[in-house]
Amino acid sequence: MIQGITYLDPILNEMAAKWPNNRTINVVCHGHSVPSGYFATPFVNTFSAYPHLLHRMIKERFPFAVTNVIVTAIGGENSVGGEARFERDVLSHRPDIMTVDYSLNDRAVGLEAAEKAWRSMIEKALEYGTKLILCTPTWDNSYYKQNEKWEALVRHAEQVRMLADRYDLGLADSFKAFEKRISEPSDLAKYLSHVNHPTEAGHALVAEEIAKYFIAR
C-alpha cells in the first residue's frame, strides 16, 4: 500500500527540533534532466526547478531545521544509468529522504529494464534506511500526438505507482497533477518550456506533490 502523508513523521519530528537538539537532514533528488533543472535545453534554471522549490517549501514549514536538498540528477540519463552510479553518487550523501524521477527517459530502455533498475535503487536505499518518494513522470509534447511515446509514458507512470505500492513508499504523482490541470491540449503550453521539460509552473506541481509529505510541525 502506498504510504499516507504521515510517512515522513519520524524525520519531520527531528526537523522540528531546535538547536542544540537538531541535526542536518539530507534530501536527495535523483533522476534525469527535470530535477537537474533543464528548461529549454541547454538552459538550466536551477532556482525554478522543483528541488529548489521544494527546499523553499521545507524551510517555510520547518524554520529551525538544517536541511540540504542535494541534486544527483544528470540530464539525458535513464534509470539504468542512475542505478549504476547509485552507491557512489547518491548513497554517499547519506540521504534521509530521496526522490526518484526517471520515467521520461526510461522509455528508451523499456519497462522491464526500468523496473529492474528502480527495484535495485529502492532496495539499496531501504537497506540504508532512507525514506523514498517515487515520482511519476511530468508530461511532454507526445501528449499532443497521443502516439506510442505517449502510451509508453502512461505505462511507465503506472509502473512507478506499482513500485510505490509494492514497497510501501511515498508517491509524488506528477503525471496525475498534470492531468488535473489539462482539460484541452492548449492548456499544456503553460506547463512545458521545451519538448519534455516543464516550466516553473510545471515544476511547482511536482514540488507540491512531494511537499504534501512535509507536514509542518
What CATH number was assigned to the domain covering residues 9-211?
3.40.50.1110
76: left (phi over 0), alpha (psi -120 to 50) or beta: left
Cβ within 8 Å of residue 60, ≥6 positions away: none
Q: Which amino acid is at 84?
A: A
Torsion angle, alpha carbons of 4, 214, 85, 127, to 10: -50
Ranges of H-type helices in the chain: 9-15, 33-36, 50-61, 79-84, 103-106, 110-128, 142-145, 148-167, 174-181, 200-211
pLDDT, tens only, 117-149: 999 999 999 999 999 999 999 999 999 999 999
What pLDDT is stored for residue 5 in this prediction? 86
Which pTM was predicted? 0.97
Each residue's pLDDT tens digit, 162-190: 999 999 999 999 999 999 999 888 999 99
Residue pair 111/153 in contact (Cβ under 8 Å)? The answer is: no
pLDDT in tens, 13-52: 999 999 999 999 999 999 999 999 999 999 999 999 999 9
pLDDT at 197: 98
How much is the pLDDT for 217?
Answer: 87
**What pLDDT is recorded for position 115?**
98
